[in-house]
Homo-oligomer: A and B are copies of this chain.
Amino acid sequence: MDKPIGIIDSGYGGLTVATEMMRQLPKESIYYVGDSKRCPYGPRTVEEVRRFTWEMINHLLEYEVKMLVIACNTATAVVLQEAREKLAIPVVGVIQPGAISAMKVTNNQHIAVIGTSGTIKSNAYPYALEAISENVKVESLACPLFVPLVEQGIVAGEEAEGIVEESLAPIKDGQFDTLILGCTHYPLLKPLIEAYLPSHVNVISSGEETAREVSSVLFHQSLNRKAAEAPTHQFFTTGAAKPFEEFARKRLSLFPAKVESITFEHRLKIER
């Protein structure tokens, strides 16, 4: 199956998933859509998140992607189940891989989750964890300032440190031994988060775990790319192409050859 894998995200965050997929699955082609113009999704209504997410999915379906990765926790919480039911291709979200991995590493069955207000309100992580174990204790905390911070490219320095410390203060003395970064933007703040929390806390990054999950699904469904030629990657953003490219290069050492700025509204008009 030489078709690309599609990734969608509210903005730059899913690039942490894309980076990990390129590292763990170097033969696969990746087509990415980031909705930077309308980011963050956290404070949006469920109906908006649903509509925006389907616009991105429909864009990627035109390229015949063989699998879809919803690399945004808010969108996963709202659309995953529906997308799995409606699409003929496998759909992987970012919530389950993080939850499964947390169950693997926790020793005291006490897990903390941080995410956007939307993800935390959806209770998607407690639900996923409790579906696996009755004895797990989950505490959740919304960190609404993290996404805007990362989208501005501020991932180190005093301002970022201050916001990380202030945001995490309510759970600092918690008894959890595992923290799930329940937002794909957060891995970019991982060094600051790890520095602030006690050193015994395992920090689970959605990006790494989702890439690992994608690898499993490719194998189980015999979808691994077998072509000898190098894979091709294509990035689309609803924002401007240049800052997207700069962000990818500077923050993630990704060198996206092609970044195309797209407008769903425009596309819809043409199609009608």
CB A5 to nearest CB in B, in angstroms, measures: 14
Contact status A216-B216, CB under 8 Å: yes
Q: Is A254 an interface residue (CB 8 A)?
A: no
CA distance A101 to B211 in the complex (A): 10
The one of B131, B133, B134, B215 that contacts A100, using a Cβ cutoff of 8 Å: B215
A100 to chain B: closest residue by CB? B215
CA distance A219 to B212 in the complex (A): 15
Residues of B within 8 A of A101 (CB): 212
CB A223 to nearest CB in B, in angstroms, measures: 12
A93 to chain B: closest residue by CB? B219
Q: A100-B216, A216-B216, A220-B90 are in contact. Are A132 and B25 (CB under 8 A)?
A: yes
Q: A131-B224, A132-B224, A224-B131 are in contact. Are A104 and B24 (CB under 8 A)?
A: yes
Per-residue CB contact flags for chain A residues 1-27 toward chain B (1 = under 8 Å, else 0) read: 000000000000000000000001111
CA distance A224 to B212 in the complex (A): 20
Q: How large is the interface on A (under 10, 10 to 19, 20 to 34, 35 or more residues)?
A: 20 to 34
Residues of B within 8 A of A208 (CB): 104
Residues of B within 8 A of A215 (CB): 100, 103-104, 132
30 contacts between A and B (CB under 8 A): A24-B100, A24-B103, A24-B104, A24-B132, A25-B132, A25-B133, A26-B132, A26-B133, A26-B134, A26-B135, A27-B133, A90-B220, A96-B216, A100-B212, A100-B215, A100-B216, A100-B219, A101-B212, A103-B215, A104-B208, A104-B211, A104-B212, A104-B215, A131-B224, A132-B224, A213-B216, A216-B216, A216-B217, A217-B220, A220-B220
